[in-house]
Structure 1
Amino acid sequence: MTNQHEEESVWPVQDQIASYLRDRILNGDIPAGEKLPSSRDLHAQFGAAAQTIRNAIITLEKEGLAYTRQGAGVFARQHRQRAMTPAAYKNPPADGGKYQWIAAAERKGLSGRSELLAVEETVPPAAVREAFGLEKEGKALLRRQVLYLDDQPCELVEVFFPLELAHGTPIAEPRKIKGGAGRVLLEAGLPPLRCVDKVAARWPTPEQAKALRMPTKLPVLRQFRVTYSVDDMPIQAEIMAKAGHLYELEYEF
């Protein structure tokens, strides 16, 4: 008999099982500490062999979503999926202090920090060139950094700036900036007045997978943001990648 998951599916069965269980754990349908469906139940539902089911469980264990208790079964682990609120972090801190996302994390009892990876002139991706009105080989200033919560990488951020705005300012220097690059632009008379976000789920690039320590083959949430200032001038473009199984985006309208 053909089960519902076999029809028109191109996924390996172990990936189907892992996806099914992952969704139920992250949605709260299987709370932390509750036992996952048995191998017998999963076999009846997916028609999978015992080793295939075990491979799916190993995937969830690597992702920190499940654990095996010898002789008792497999249980959902307390996961650390967190909601990020990007719209709340667009403005630089008024006093040149901590990034707003770090201050927000500390209010929740978490510790946040950033690690600067690179500051360089580069030919940016096509979407950034289009936003800045650059030619095909036109360059922008890139600042790349990893953001951490409780010493776990949560986001790889690539921020591009028009060269004419970055040259001669701390933005072009290979060091962290107190209050962030947004503070430098604000003091130059270029406040962030409008942001446009595009969010998509994509397979991570090798660089993203390494920076975020992706444990298995999982998508990332890719957020592309262009920030505009006075006279609708684009002042920066960001590509932000978050581990899809650990973070979700929250917007309030």
Structure 2
Amino acid sequence: MSPTAESATADPRPLHERIAADLRDQINAGDYPPGTAIPSTEQLKTRFNASNATVQKALGLLKREGLVVGRAGSSVQVRGLRRQIMTPALYSAPAAPGGRYRWIAEAERRGQSGTSKLLEVGEVVPPGDVREALGLDEGQRAVLRKQILFLNEEPCELVKSYYPLDLAAGTALMLRKRIRGGSPALLAEAGYPPARTLDRVSACIATQEQYEALQLPSDLPVLRTLRVVLSQDDRVIEVTEMAKASHLYELQYEF
């Protein structure tokens, strides 16, 4: 449906951003499958009552996001979808003894290259919601492990995991090095196997840190998950803030 004057007033974004948003939604919904052409520039100009320059600007956004490919004067086609359907339940259990970090193993199972880069390890005062989940008072500290996850060498997730100081003391959680099998395996070995996980998921405008770390192609939101991991005695053993690039991720939950 072409935008009317009333709808344009209701949505204050520039027209090229609105065009990109509508096309992005149709691509993600499967209305334009991978390998097919989206409507021509002339069709989009008519549909959105837009100029040629505005349509090209909208298509430029989608190209930078990797959703479409094409050159001026030729049809613009939908790329093979890069958005991953992630099932969080697959990643919470500890890896088998000597096994690889589950996130990396799952990427390889899908025929992709999954890697991680450890950015920071140290004692910090966590943000308010993390502090509340850990049961810390204002000003109390926890151990932070911050890393970026990559799929096929493209940054897709910024991960900040926080651990109680008394639990992390004397373990590899305090060291600036990768943990074989990931933190769930280490916690299980220490006598705190993850037994229950609570996720709070929201869509947020990217912070400066998230925008730069994930190399976002435009002003896209991130999927923020606040994950609280509890051991068998209901002790909080880990709280993680995950910021996922929304153009690369879709979450799937089963009930």
Question: Is the TM-score greater than 0.5?
Answer: yes
- Residue 59 of structure 1 corresponds to 61
Aligned amino acid, residue 77 of structure 1? R
Match of 1:74 among 52, 67, 76: 76
Superposition RMSD in Å: 1.6
Separation in 2, partners of 1:190, 1:242 = 27
1:134: how far off? 0.9
Gaps of 5+ in 1: none
1:20 and 1:70 mapped to 2: Cα distance? 21
For each residue in 1:39-80, what CA deviation from the matched residue of structure 2 results, as whole angstroms up to 9, or x when unmatched? 333233322222111110111111111122343232222231
CA contact (8 A) 1:83 1:250 kept: yes
Q: Which residue of 2 aligns with 1:210?
A: 212
User: Is contact 1:3–1:45 with CA below 8 Å preserved after alignment?
Assistant: no
Question: Do the aligned residues in 2 keep the contact of 1:69 with 1:75 (CA within 8 Å)?
Answer: no
Percent identity, please. Answer: 47
SS at match of 1:184: helix
In the alignment, which residue of structure 2 is the partner of 1:14? 16
Structure 2 letter corresponding to 1:176:
R
Against the structure 1 CA distance between its residues 2 and 83, is the aligned structure 2 distance closer, same or farther, given a 3 Å change threshold?
Answer: closer
Map of 2:166 onto structure 1: 164
SS of residue matched to 1:35 = coil
Count of residues in correspondence between the two structures: 253
The match for 1:232 is 234
CA contact (8 A) 1:226 1:236 kept: yes
TM-score by length of 1: 0.94
The answer on whether the counterparts of 1:5 and 1:46 sit within 8 Å (CA) in structure 2 is: no
> Within 2, Cα distance between the matches of 1:139 and 1:59?
41
Aligned match of 1:148 in 147, 150, 153? 150
Structure 2 segments unaligned to the other structure (5+ residues): none
The yes-or-no answer on 1:98 pairing with 2:95 is no
- In structure 1, give the amino acid aligned to 2:61: T
What CA distance in whole angstroms lies between the structure 1 residues aligned with 2:253 and 2:75?
38
Out of 113-122 and 5-14, give the one that drifted further: 5-14
Which residue is equivalent to 2:50? Answer: 48
Q: Residues 157 and 87 from structure 1, CA distance in 2 versus in 1: closer, same or farther, beyond 3 angstroms?
A: same
Query: What TM-score do the two structures reach when normalised by structure 2?
Result: 0.94
- Work out whether residues 102 and 181 of structure 2, in 8 Å CA contact, stay in contact via their aligned partners in 1: no
Aligned equivalents of 2:195, 2:70: Cα separation in 1: 50
Q: Distance in 2 between matches of 1:17 and 1:87?
A: 35
Residue 36 (structure 1) aligns with: 38
Alignment partners' CA distance in 2, 1:70 and 1:13: 20
Query: Given that residues 123 and 144 in structure 2 are in contact (C-alpha distance below 8 angstroms), is that contact kept between their aligned partners in structure 1?
Result: yes
How far off is 1:6 after superposition? 2.1
Offset of residue 208 of structure 1:
1.2
CA distance in 2, matches of 1:2, 1:227: 48
Q: Aligned partners of 2:95, 2:210: CA distance in 1, in Å?
A: 27
- Whether the 8 Å contact between 2:196 and 2:232 is mirrored in structure 1 is no
Where does residue 241 of structure 1 map in the other structure? 243
Using a 3 Å threshold, how does the CA distance of structure 1 residues 178 and 2 change in structure 2: closer, same or farther?
Answer: closer
